[in-house]
Amino acid sequence: MTTPFPTSAPLPVVRLIPKANARAIRHGAPWVYENELVTDRRTKALAPGTIAVLEDSLRQPMGVVTVNPNSKIICRMLDADPEASIDQAWMAAHLRRALALRERMYDAPYYRLVHAEADGLPGVIIDRFGDTCVIQPNAAWSDALIEPLTAALIEVTGVKNVLKNASGRTRSLEGLDDVSGVLAGTAPDAAVPVLMNGATYMADLTGGQKTGIFYDQRPNHAFAASLSRGARVLDVFSHVGGFGLAAVANGAASALCIDGSAPALALASEGAAAMGVSDRVTTRQGDAFDVLTALRAEGAEFDVIICDPPAFAPAKPALEAGLRAYERIARLAAPLVAEGGIIGLCSCSHAADLAAFRAASVRGIGRAGRRPSLIHTGFAGADHPQLPQLAETGYLKSLFFHL
């Protein structure tokens, strides 16, 4: 195989087939699928993550791409300039732009610093927790160039610690391993407190889900909290207490956090203790479907319920089953909402678009015998920008209904 990143020799060239939509790529579409590229023996021999020049079918250069013959997304656009050098300086320039945007939006360095293609670093997720950053290099090129990427990150942000999180489905689709570790500095020896919306969340940066916390729900936490003053709140799939702690921090009478993970619930309790609200926050471990059924049998009632499950439809083959699961959650949760109360339903499945998710949610509420009115539709926070040409970057949807 060729080496992934030749330093002096000309970059290899890959070429679109005549039927490929070259115009879409020139207008910002960031991906080339394997059925759009000439995949001869030479192209198939390229090492995953190879940097190459992409040409159209007429041999006109279109820019610099990263190539992974092992992935259905065989090319990811890096730079529209075919002369661009993908080195530490190039990475630092992208990181500076991303940092400047976040510093305009947030007073404290706790946010998603890089949201993959939308920030010009395809497949790369970077979440910041003060002087520590967690990188998810979900594309082969970023995994192979992790050292200059780490150096650029430290250069631009001044962080002391950089961790690698190699969990998740995306890396397996790229043919990458699941080995996490420390790239620079040291890993925190305890959960890191993160202040958002008046609440304190405890983020486990090495053993928690994803990078340790879900920054994307920040504005939706705030909206739910604004409806929760004096309310009895149920936070289903709570993780470290995302909606529940924000609600209590903003005047909720109580919050019950439900999750299948005992460590996540322990962090929710730790956050409540740090806020001085342990008397108003309780937890219950178990399968959400089972717990909702049990709460109905117990005659429980809540003024605000939020359900924020994992991706039930992570890809198109799982779409129908995923929509049925979203409908079921709505059907089980709606009867627990007091008259005039609020139910918030969330989906992080990019395969389920807003219309399909909304329809499934309304069906579930209707099957529970409740009459909903949609009062708010929420999306990911501004530190999770969307690339208009890539629907997958607009994955998060939150629907709030008055019952």
Active site amino acids? 348
Q: Are 173 and 147 in contact (CB under 8 A)?
A: no
The rounded radius of gyration (Å) of the Cα atoms in the chain is 23
Give the residue from 51, 54, 67 showing the smallest Cα distance to 20.
54
Could you give the CA distance from residue 402 to residue 374 in angstroms, rounded to a whole number? 6
β-pairing, 232-236 vs 254-259, is parallel
Q: Cα 319 to the chain's mean position, in Å?
A: 18
Query: E strands, 244-286, where?
Result: 254-259, 281-285
H-assigned helices in 158-261:
169-173, 218-226, 242-249
Q: What is the b/e burial string over 168-196, where b = at least 16 CB atoms within 10 angstroms of the residue's CB?
A: bebbebbebeeebeebbbeebeebbbbeb
> Pseudo-torsion of CA 131, 132, 136, 142, nearest 10°?
60
Q: Are 104 and 63 in contact (CB under 8 A)?
A: no
Could you give the CA distance from residue 67 to residue 4 in angstroms, rounded to a whole number? 9
| Tokens standing for residue 305 | 């319920």
Could you give the CA distance from residue 127 to residue 380 in angstroms, rounded to a whole number? 14
Could you give the CA distance from residue 234 to residue 255 in angstroms, rounded to a whole number? 6
